[in-house]
Structure 1
Amino acid sequence: MDAKAVKSQLRSRIMEARKAMPAEQRKEYSAAVCQKLLQCDRLAEARAIMAFHPFDTELDIWPFVEAAKVRGQEIWLPRTVPSEKRLIPYRYSGPEMLRQGVYGIWEPDPVLAEEADLTRLDAVVVPGVAFDARGGRMGYGGGYYDRFLAALAVRPYLVGVAFSMQVVEQVPREPHDIKLDGLVTERGFFQR
């Protein structure tokens, strides 16, 4: 079986398991992950952090986003441009500058938001479907994050966030897949 087929099967299995997780457990685990993110020195030292607005059954990092803003950090959220298969980050100023994007994810409205200066990016909190302890990450299949990260002139600190049930022995990797520096689950913080 080729890498794409293996990824597709793994993606389906993990997303079904995540969907089956009780809402209360998802909330409890999300809160634990947010606490660990706030305690991470590399994130605490970052001036500009690109995060994401969780959707569907994803881990909810919104408490981390709000706390980072309160402690004076610049938060960026990506806008998805499907026609170009790319992400464009904008400075997050508050919920009034968000709108639902093409995938139903809340993202910056380019009319109301200021595009971020990529030279200032210090860290990225990365979503995904499956992760491994060696920095492997598998997203939703569009390649948006891999393309975005590969195009940056300077590599920021990259930390994935997931429920522990999303961590597998080894994520199938392809040459274009970007490795993460760390991973946070409700069980702890792992760095490679």
Structure 2
Amino acid sequence: MNQNTELRKMIRKQRRSLTPLQQRNIEQQCLKQFLKHSQLQYAKKVGVYLDAFGEVRTRLLIEFCFQHGKQVYLPLICNMNKTLRWVRISKHQFHNHLFSRHPLGMLEPIASRGLHISILDLVVMPLLACDDKGARMGMGGGFYDRTLASALHRPYRLGLAHDFQKLDIELKRNPWDQALDGLITPSKTYHFKRHFSQ
């Protein structure tokens, strides 16, 4: 079994073991880190995920965006090319849970089409692991890597993770892997330089 397979297994298990109370506390701590981040302060169009598999929850972040007049976009899987398109949602849609469930298990906005990721100022992404250079191990489907490959300069790429998902070891990278510009965990904000080839 290779390094990535073992890591995926271990981290998924750690995420599943978190209690609802721990998840709430982690979400609140991450929001505090977000509030200090200049990219969130200046962003007008924010792409964010809806948590479904033990990722850091995003409800408070989404509420903050609505309260401060920011446009919120959610990813929609394009089945044709396995990339993500982005759909703006309203406060009404969010509060009334007007979403559909994708066969993979995550909730999606109810829409037939979305916009290219480059319209966003900031995209907040889930992940399984991240190293000191900003290499991101995704959830396994490659959706974000394929999507970001066509948007190298915009938006700002910000990972959101539990503290145990930030690793001291260097992750093995594939040529198609897309790096992060920054990472937020409950205890710290990290900044990276995307210096390896995209």
- TM-score, structure 1 normalization: 0.89
Post-superposition Cα deviations, 1:79-131, rounded to whole Å, max 9, x if no partner, equal 123453111110011225421112221111115xx733644311110111111
Asked whether the equivalents of residues 126 and 161 of structure 1 are also in contact (C-alpha less than 8 Å), the reply is: yes
Distance 1:119 1:160, change over 3 A: closer
1:155 correspondence with 2:149? no
Report matched runs for 1:37-56 at 5 Å: 37-56=34-53
Aligned twin of 1:136: 135
Report matched runs for 1:32-181 at 5 Å: 32-93=29-90, 94-95=93-94, 96=96, 97-110=98-111, 115-116=114-115, 118-152=117-151, 154-169=153-168, 170-181=170-181
1:23 Cα offset (Å): 2.3
Post-superposition Cα deviations, 1:149-190, rounded to whole Å, max 9, x if no partner, equal 111264211110000011112222111111111111011111
- More divergent stretch after superposition (72-81 vs 96-105): 96-105
1:182 correspondence with 2:182? yes
SS of match in other structure, 2:149: helix
| Alignment gaps of 5+ in structure 1 | none
1:22 Cα offset (Å): 2.4
Distance 1:99 1:184, change over 3 A: same
Post-superposition Cα deviations, 1:49-75, rounded to whole Å, max 9, x if no partner, equal 110001131110110011112101111
- More divergent stretch after superposition (37-46 vs 92-101): 92-101
1:39 Cα offset (Å): 2.3
| Alignment gaps of 5+ in structure 2 | 193-198
Q: Percent identity?
A: 29
Asked whether the equivalents of residues 99 and 108 of structure 1 are also in contact (C-alpha less than 8 Å), the reply is: yes
**Distance of 2:60 and 2:178 partners within structure 1:** 26
**Distance of 1:45 and 1:127 partners within structure 2:** 21
- More divergent stretch after superposition (91-100 vs 57-66): 91-100
Distance 1:49 1:129, change over 3 A: same
Q: Which amino acid aligns with 1:55?
A: A
Task: Spell out structure 1 runs of 4+ moving beyond 3 A.
Answer: 116-119
In the alignment of these two chains, the number of paired residues is 187
Aligned twin of 2:22: 25
- TM-score, structure 2 normalization: 0.87
